[in-house]
Structures are given as C-alpha cells and as structure tokens.
Amino acid sequence: MQDIIQILAAELGKREEHVQSVVTLLDEGNTVPFIARYRKEMHGAMDDQTIRTLADRLQYLRNLNARREEVKKSIEAQRKLTEELSLAIDNAATLAEVEDLYRPYKQKRRTRATVAKEKGLEPLAELLFAQEKNCPVPEEEAKKYIDPEKGVASVGDALAGANDIIAERISDDADVRKALRNFFVKYANVVTEAAKKDPEDTVYRNYYHFSSPVCKVPGHQVLAFNRGEREEVLKVSVEIDREVALGLVTRRVVKRPACNATAFVEAAAGDAYDRLIFPSVEREIRSMLTDAANEGAIGQFALNLKPLLMQPPVKGFVTMGLDPGYRMGCKVAVVDGTGKVLDTAVVYPTYGERQKKECIEKLSFLIKKHGVKHIAIGNGTASRETEQMTVELIASLGHGAGVSYMIVSEAGASVYSASPLAAKEFPEFDVNLRSAVSIARRLQDPLAELVKIDPKAIGVGQYQHDMPEKRLSEALDAVVEDCVNAVGVDVNTASAPLLARVSGLNAGVAASIVKYREENGSFTSRKQIKKVKGLGDKAFEQCAGFLRVPESREVLDNTAVHPESYAATEKLLALCGFTAEDVRAGRLAGLRERIKAQGEGNAAKACGVGVPTLTDIISELMKPGRDPRDELPPPLLRTDVLEIKDLKAGMELRGTVRNVIDFGAFVDIGVHQDGLVHISEIADRYIRHPSEVLSVGDVVTVWVKDVDERKMRISLTMKRPKGAAVTAG
C-alpha cells in the first residue's frame, strides 16, 4: 500500500516534505487561508486552491484506507482472506476497485444463485466451471443432483441452478468488472431519445435523437439529459457492441482448449453479461458521468463565484439602488458611501407615461438632495423598463451631474431581504425596500453584501439546483472564505456574516465580536480582539492577520502582517533605516532597493523569517491597508442603453461577462438581454473551456454576430469581423 504522502506529492507535483507539512497543519486544526498565507515556508508557497485540493484528496485517500481495512476484516471473519486477496485490496487505487474485490464476499440479498446453492447445486456448478479436460457432459452429471424434495425435479432444473451460480460468480469477478468498465468508458455511447412517440417542442428537443461517446460527452449535456429523464421527457441509455463486450468476458472465464462444459460456461457468461453485469455497469457509467458532470459544474460555479465576489467595489459614493417591479412598483433606496441608508421610496415607472414622469421627478429630487453619483439596477422583473427610465432620468439631469448606472445581479436579494439577518438590520423597512438597499450595496462592495446570502442563491453556475447540496455548499463556502480572507475585514465595520467567513471564526464568535463592539465601542488594537468571549488563542492565531483595525495606533494592525511577524517587521524597518511613522506616512521610497542591496535571503535571515514571508511583509508595508480588488479593472458604468432592435451584425460593443459556462459565456452589452459568446467565438486559438480566457466581471469587447428578436437571442463574437462597424457601448 503506497504511502498517502507519496501519492499526494506525485499527484500535485509537490515535494513530500511540503505535503507532509500541509497534512500536519490541517490535522492541527489550521484553516486553509491561514496555512496558505502565513505558513508559506513550510509548504513551498502553495496557493489556497492547491491546499484545498490536497485536503479533499487527503480525505478520500484516508477513507480509502479505512475502507480497505473494513473489507479485509470482514473477509477475514469469513476465513476467506488470502495473502493474494489482501495484497489486491491494499493495491486497489479507488473505492470502486475495493468494492469489486469485496463483492463476492459481501452479504447479499436472496438471489437466484443463493437459492440454487440452498438446493445443493454448488458442487455441480464448481465442477462445470472448473472446465477440466475430463469434465463430464453437463446433462449426464446433472442427473446426480435431481432431488424433487429440494426443488430440483429435472436435469433442466439442476443445470439452470448451476448456471445461476456460475453467472453470479462471473458477475462478481473483480477483473471482469474492471475490464468491462474500462471498455465501456472507451467505446460505449450514451444515447437519448424522446420518451413519447410524438414529443412536444421542449428545451430538450436537441436530445430527442442524441448519441455521444461516453468518453466525450460534455458535462452540461449529461446534466441536461439527466434532468430531462427525471421530468419523463427523455429516455437515456448506454449502448455498446454486445458481441465485443461479451467476448471480453468469455475470454476471461472460458478455458481453452474446449471441453464438455465449454458451451455451458459460455452460455452462463452470456447470462451473466445480459442479466447482471451490463445493467450494473450501465448504472456505474451513468453514475460516473453524473459525478464528473456535477464536479465540473460545481467547479465552474466556484470559478465564476470568485471573480463575482472579487469585483472591484465602487467605494465612497452615494448610491441609489433600484429594485424593479411591475405590480408592487420599483423600490428605491439611497445609501451613503459607507452603505448607511439615507432615504427610501417606491415609484411606478411601468404604470404609464404620467407615472414614469412622476418617477423621474421623484428620483431627480433624491439624486440632487443626497448627491447620488451611481445608480444600481437589479436585473430581475421589469429591469428593462427601469433601465430605460434611468437613461431618461440621467439625460434630464444633464451630463454635468455625472450620474451613471450599472445593472447589478439581484440573484439572492429576495432571499436576503426575507431573512432574519435583514429583519434585524432593517426592522423599520419592509422586505421589498431591504432588497433595494442590498442592490445598492452590491455595487458599493459586492463581497461585503453577497456574503450575507447563501452562495447557491447567487446564480452564476449551470444546473446548480441539480447538484449534490452538501458538496456544492462546501465548494462555494470555500470560495467565499478565500475571497473574504484575501481582501481582509475591518473588524469595526464588518457585519456578523462577513466576520463569520474570516479564518478561525464562526457565526457564534462573529456575533460576539459585533456584540462586544456595540457594548464597548470600536476596537483600538488587534490585541483587544482577544477579549471577545469565545475567541481563544487558537482562533486569534487563525484570524488576526485577516482582521483590520484602522483605528489602531499600531500601523501593522491595518495590514495583512500577522502579529507573530510584528517583531520581524520592526527588525526589517530598522535594518533599512525606517520607522513605523515612515510606514504610516508612506515614506518608504527605496525600501525594496535597500533590501535588494543586502540580498533577500540575508535580510530574511536577519529578521528571523523566510523569504516568502519577507516578500509579503514588504508588499504590506508599501501599501498598508490596501484592498487587492482596487488593482482590478473597474466595473463598466453606463449612461445610455440600446434596444435589441438597434443591434446590427458586425456592431462593436463593450460588455460585462455575467456567467461563464461549459459552452461559452453570457455578456451584458446594455440591451437587457445578455448575449452569448459561444466557446468557438471566444479566441482565435483552440481553448478547452471558456474559463481559460474569461471570468465573471470581465469587461470585454464583442461584436454582434446574429440577432433573433423573436426569440430574444443575441449571438456575439470576440473575434473582430472584417469591416466591423464601431459603436460605443
């Protein structure tokens, strides 16, 4: 049995000592963000994603080892564990292989084979399956087993029972199942068809006559036809050349040269394949495809979620949030630069021209009163009409007002606004107005607002409602945790949900931090955080570097420098002729050059840290309190809108990537209806997946390829067409 550390090191391409360090750190209760950020010397500077992959794989391998031991103990209790079988179990690389080896020894429900054994037909089956040269003719040997009292009334009964025993034995053969499984993966096709003879025109129309090799079918198609099958619109099956597959089985169980029992064993192999093996392997293949599709979709959801959470905030501006609607009107909330609510209203721009005019007048008044600079519009029901009204509103204010707008995803806003958290935060507002506040804050600081919502409700994936809920939650929660800790959290302004995502903290401790803050005023140092009830030394070690205290006299308290490295930082500053006051005043010109002159290795040694930690300290000193999101391209704010009828083939536009999926990306081009850039239209080179080029939130240049006004479909390309017209977007 290969050592787990060796396996992980080989799979990840990392040194064994680094892998061992990560495993030890995880076992000691350290979080992934803490390990990734503050223990770089121990693991060779692995990033958080690599460490999470290692942690997941570690759990699988440990479960595999545990299952190996369970299986061996069970077989040993039956006194059937041989050295050869024990070695095979130890060498099994997957849980599926372990279960294949255990299959013959697993207690089964009552089967045809167990019934035949109860009738005393096992010796006959053993004799025939042995296929010795002097094997008797099956029909002659079967006469010896006729016993009406046991239910064996004839030669046919005896041979049928022997067939059942041999068929089950073949079906339980681990080598046979492994070979067939591999064969199916390489050569089988997954086939779908309509469940009804005269099917209706549904979203599953592409799967009414569909076939794809198992090894090539994309995950999004697997998820699509799985859903169609559940809705009883499709029938799904796995097809393979039976004769070739059966030949693979018979070659493993039929001995040569032939003997009197050969034909009988061949028939039993055929029965085993048709009745037992094929249905079982078909289920395994379907399950394998579904598991792979789920993992792919979960991975893509996580990949999309990160840039959505890490979108650059539009900080420090008074912002108006508009939650569009028809019957209940458009809910309005104005918040200041810190997200504090200044004003609310409800307007009715979709009720008619008079009401729209009143709406523009009302919003103009609020904009002038509070100095609104940006308007965030939710992308749900009535968004198109609200956007058009907003464009007219901005025009009426004149260019000098400098007001712009942005369409904001309102996915999950209703979930938040109806939550106990929102009720506690805004007890004086009804559900609809809370949603408008959330939309405004999503433009100001997407991360701080979106952490209040279950990541599954944010909606930047595909078929997320079909995913295994526990696995999806784990993956998305990990992304949120990594994003929150990458940015850092102001301990004096952060909400409890945001604090709960900080390394080492949980919902209970986060609530205690907020309570302490309310009772004692703002924190004035990181050390003071230790006074919070329930926050022990281990939790402080894990969270301290990710919490910011801008009000602290210690300048390092507002950086990502961990308190354990404060002494090293002071040594570094002294070594280079600087002070803490220089850091606070931003007077560190030449710091990097002085360190370079001494040599990074020498400087690190003098400070008592490794080079990776030294590098991180320098970055923090040069930009104390920095927000890594500020270094990303800003979001695309608009002052005008296009209609779908305005679009022409070849038109150039600027847009924001809203979702990245297996077959392409959806881009908001300011026409209310997002356009699709198919994977084949993303780059001039071959790409395996759109995520190689695009991320959610990217601002991109696209050209209109085709427009279908009736179906509201817009096809876009990122490849500049010859003679393309240029239009501001």
Residue whose entry in the numeric block shows the structure tokens 């924001």: 656
The whole-number pLDDT of residue 499 equals 96
% of residues, the chain, pLDDT over 70: 98
The whole-number pLDDT of residue 159 equals 97
Q: Is residue 58 predicted with pLDDT exceeding 80? A: yes
The whole-number pLDDT of residue 541 equals 97
Q: What is the pLDDT of residues 290-321, one digit of tens each?
A: 999 999 999 888 888 888 889 899 988 999 99
Confidence of residue 409 (pLDDT cuts 50, 70, 90): confident
The whole-number pLDDT of residue 108 equals 79
Q: Is residue 1 predicted with pLDDT exceeding 60? A: no
Q: Indicate the burial class of 31 (C-beta count within 10 angstroms; 0-12, 13-18, 19 or more).
A: buried
**Residues with Cβ within 8 Å of residue 38, at least 6 apart in sequence:** 545, 562, 564, 613
The whole-number pLDDT of residue 728 equals 46
Domains of the chain: which residue ranges?
Answer: 4-105, 112-188+240-298, 319-460, 520-631, 644-717
CA 316 to chain centre: 32
DSSP-derived letter for residue 681 is G
Residue with the larger pLDDT of the pair 632 and 548:
548
Mean pLDDT of 435-458: 90
Mean pLDDT of 468-473: 89
Confidence of residue 171 (pLDDT cuts 50, 70, 90): very high
Q: What is the pLDDT of residues 92-118, one digit of tens each?
A: 999 999 999 999 998 878 899 999 999
Closest CA to 265 of 154, 132, 372: 132
Domain 644-717 listed as CATH 2.40.50.140 = yes
Indicate the SS3 state at residue 728: coil
Residue with the larger pLDDT of the pair 87 and 634:
87
The whole-number pLDDT of residue 462 equals 67
Q: What is the pLDDT of residues 514-537, one digit of tens each?
A: 999 999 999 999 999 999 999 999
Domain 4-105 listed as CATH 1.10.10.650 = yes
Please give the CATH architecture assigned to the domain spanning 319-460: 2-Layer Sandwich (3.30)
Q: Is residue 150 predicted with pLDDT exceeding 70? A: yes
Mean pLDDT of 618-632: 85
Q: Is residue 633 predicted with pLDDT exceeding 80? A: no
Confidence of residue 460 (pLDDT cuts 50, 70, 90): low
Topology, domain 112-188+240-298: Tex N-terminal region-like (1.10.3500)
The answer to whether the 4-105 and 644-717 domains have the same CATH topology is no
Provide the greatest CA pair distance for the chain: 105
The whole-number pLDDT of residue 721 equals 81
User: Cis peptide leading into 427, omega within 30 of 0?
Assistant: no
Closest CA to 307 of 613, 642, 659, 18: 659
The whole-number pLDDT of residue 419 equals 86
Q: Would you say the pTM of this structure is higher than 0.85? A: no
Are the C-beta atoms of residues 379 and 448 closer than 8 Å to each other?
Answer: no
Which of 149-163, 399-413, 596-610 has the lowest average pLDDT? 399-413
Residue with the larger pLDDT of the pair 267 and 466:
267
Q: What is the pLDDT of residues 226-253, one digit of tens each?
A: 999 999 999 999 999 999 999 999 999 9
Closest CA to 666 of 459, 476, 451, 475: 459
Please give the CATH architecture assigned to the domain spanning 520-631: Orthogonal Bundle (1.10)
Q: What is the pLDDT of residues 68-80, one digit of tens each?
A: 999 999 999 999 9
Which of 372-386, 428-442, 623-637 has the lowest average pLDDT? 623-637
Q: Is residue 165 predicted with pLDDT exceeding 80? A: yes
The whole-number pLDDT of residue 2 equals 62
Average pLDDT across the chain, whole number: 92
Q: What is the pLDDT of residues 596-615, one digit of tens each?
A: 999 999 999 999 999 999 99
Mean pLDDT of 469-491: 92
Q: Which helix (H) or strand (E) holds 560?
A: none
Task: List the Cα angle 481/485/486 in 5-degree steps.
Answer: 115
Strands 652-661 and 341-347: unpaired
